[in-house]
Amino acid sequence: MMDDLIHLSPNPWKATLRNIFAARVAKGDANATAWSFRQSGVVEINYGFTNAAMIYAALFMQYFDAISTIASEVDLSMEDSEVLGWILAEIDQGVSEPILLAESSRELWRREGAIFVGHPSLADVPRRRLDSYQLAAAATEEFALAHEICHHMLGHTEKTFKHAGEIEKTVISWIRRAGSYDLWSGLNASQKEEVQADVAAFLLMSGELNGTFNRGLTYKAVSGSMLALTALAHISEHWFSDDQQESHPDFLDRFSVVSGIIVGLSTGLPRGGKGDHPLGFLLQFRGFISMVLQTWISKHDNSVNLPTFLNTFSWLLDEGADIDNLLDEA
């Protein structure tokens, strides 16, 4: 994984990156850290985060599988409405129940040491999605690793890194381009660094930093960033916060900046062979995140119902039409 990121980095970074040691450490809390030691960078990814990456990739695969089932395998015009209702309820349950299960595991998860090697949601990954599941879980971990590496490369851990100024300029110009400059300027110093690391990590994974930007890398960066931010927000319950003192911005800020980068980078890309597009992929994540978020809110606010997959699906259809229009105009 570290080798992949070195490969994607601009040439001036490579020597420094070879001096960064990345390791998984057996800590249960879902976190990662970067620190430096005598000019060498260290990145630690807690096993708890790896575990979270696996669980959220599994939840997303169930949701993703439901979208393709309902879109291509269910005849919504079938005469027997009772059978149709039964099929749709089954699909709905297949998506909603694993999210609820993850929601109910959260407390245990947050306590250090509680690692769900055999979390029940992992057993429910649809067989035909196993490869995609592995890729999504790996991409999620890669985003966390890229984020920590970028703290080093941006000079957040060691002020002496000599290319930090260039990368910082690139990152700020992308934050501007994504329409997020005002949001970013309003954050405290530590939160600003977090947003910079997110943006740099996305640019690195998508190949933008070394001129190899392409569709495949973009898909990987979209799934890695979205799943990583969602998993962290869900576990830490840091969806939205007004606390100006916190070290990390809340989920909504981080999500909004990274989404802006995705739109900025990929709007000009043509559709893929199946009519697919990174903006369509981002939309699917927005639907998924809204289900995870609504599940969490419903636990804290009795007036909010649990989400249903069918509502999300019809929302996806509406929003998808808007994206089609946008791409046709681009």
Contacting positions for Zn ion (CB under 5 A): 194, 197
Q: State how far the Cα of 176 lies from the Cα of 34, in Å rounded to an integer.
A: 26
**How far apart are CB 211 and Zn ion at their closest, in Å?**
26
Q: Which residues contact 249 (CB under 8 A, 6 or more apart)?
A: 187, 191, 194, 195
Q: Which residues contact 40 (CB under 8 A, 6 or more apart)?
A: 19, 20, 21
**How far apart are CB 268 and Zn ion at their closest, in Å?**
29
Pairing of strands 20-25, 40-46: parallel
Considering the complex, state which of residue 99 and residue 197 has its C-beta at the smaller distance from Zn ion.
197
Q: State how far the Cα of 173 lies from the Cα of 186, in Å rounded to an integer.
A: 16
**How far apart are CB 185 and Zn ion at their closest, in Å?**
19
Considering the complex, state which of residue 133 and residue 202 has its C-beta at the smaller distance from Zn ion.
202
Question: Among 322, 318, 4, 47, which Cα is nearest to 149's?
Answer: 4
**How far apart are CB 194 and Zn ion at their closest, in Å?**
5
Considering the complex, state which of residue 197 and residue 262 has its C-beta at the smaller distance from Zn ion.
197
Considering the complex, state which of residue 61 and residue 149 has its C-beta at the smaller distance from Zn ion.
149
Considering the complex, state which of residue 115 and residue 197 has its C-beta at the smaller distance from Zn ion.
197
**How far apart are CB 218 and Zn ion at their closest, in Å?**
22
CB of 291 closer than 8 Å to CB of 307: yes
Token code pair at residue 215: 């569709």
